[in-house]
A and B are shown apart, each in its own frame.
Chain A
Amino acid sequence: MSMKVSTRQVDGVTILDLSGRITLGEGSVTIRDAVRDLLAKGQSKILLNLGDISYIDSSGIGELVSAFTTVKNAGGELKLLNLTKKVQDLLQITKLYTVFDIKDDEASAISSFK
């Protein structure tokens, strides 16, 4: 199943609800395009909701990292929400768990943006 993305706005934060797989050739380009479009529109407070992501590979991890650095370099913030245990384990193995700002509650995640 390829990745699907839907976008919503809550209190000035753009939430991308992602579902499916983030792998080479499936979800990775979608994330890149979505983040680039948001930054172009001046929306630089971005919350990636990964609650319905069933699978992510090294390319997907790379895309999350690239999205994080792209948004940070643009002066914005990108945070992750609702990680499944599989994704959480992967980020721990790759030592990225402490790099990302990871939230498990949407309301507190929204309020944590500056």
Chain B
Amino acid sequence: MADSTDKPRASFTLDSTLDSVNKIEQTAEQYAQRAGFDEDTIPHIAMAVREAAVNAVLHGNAYDVNKHITASFETTPADLVIRIADQGPGLDPSSLPDPLAPENILRGSGRGIFLIRAFMDEVNFRQLHPGTELTLIKHRTPAQSGT
């Protein structure tokens, strides 16, 4: 996967494993670097993408060896766009509890989507029947896009 980051667009289908999560995270970091994001923003993008991949593998596909996740990376003049999709039962983002609410602050889980939203400029959910696709978008500045 690492060799493909010299292309403006790439897509991968991967097993539902933590190894896939690590590969997707590394690829996101490489795309973010090539898109010109600064050293503070690159780890945030990589973490957001990692969280999306973890959700797909863990909560979406539940490590099912018969289900796969897809990850696509696209650099446009305006944005870095990353899509992560699973084949799970679907995710309703409105059903997720607010991890900052006092009654949830000491919960041991439930912060993944929150961190994705914190670190990306746009996060969109699409139901695939079956599965969920998350689209993560980070806007590039004119200097980053070379325009």
Which residues of the partner chain B approach A95 to less than 8 Å between Cβ atoms?
100, 105
Segment of A33-41, A45-53, A56-64, A106-114 engaged in the interface with chain B: A56-64
Which residues of the partner chain A approach B109 to less than 8 Å between Cβ atoms?
58-59, 62
Which residues of the partner chain B approach A59 to less than 8 Å between Cβ atoms?
54, 109
Q: Which of B1-39 contact A (CB under 8 A)?
A: 18, 21
Q: In chain B, what residue has the closest Cβ to A98? A: B105
Name the contact of A65 in the complex, choosing from B51, B54, B58, B107 (C-beta under 8 A): B107
Chain B nearest CB, measured from A61 CB (Å): 6
Tally chain A residues at the interface, Cβ within 8 Å: 21
Chain B nearest CB, measured from A87 CB (Å): 12
> Could you mark each residue 37-51 of chain B with 1 if its beta carbon is under 8 Å from any beta carbon of chain A, else 0?
000000100010011
- Whether A61 pairs with B105 at a CB distance below 8 angstroms is no
- Whether B115 pairs with A93 at a CB distance below 8 angstroms is yes
Q: At the interface, is chain B mostly helix, strand, loop or mixed?
A: helix
Tally chain B residues at the interface, Cβ within 8 Å: 21
Q: Which of A76-101 contact B (CB under 8 A)?
A: 86, 90, 93-96, 99
A66 at the interface (CB under 8 A from B): yes
> Could you mark each residue 2-42 of chain A with 1 if its beta carbon is under 8 Å from any beta carbon of chain B, else 0?
00000000000000000000011100000000000000000
Chain B nearest CB, measured from A32 CB (Å): 10
Chain A nearest CB, measured from B51 CB (Å): 6
What is A's interface to B at a CB cutoff of 8 Å? 23-25, 55, 57-59, 61-63, 65-66, 68-69, 86, 90, 93-96, 99
A-B interface, 6 closest residue pairs, ranked by CB to CB distance from nearest: A66-B108, A58-B111, A62-B108, A58-B112, A25-B18, A62-B109
What is B's interface to A at a CB cutoff of 8 Å? 18, 21, 43, 47, 50-51, 54, 58, 99-100, 105-112, 114-115, 118
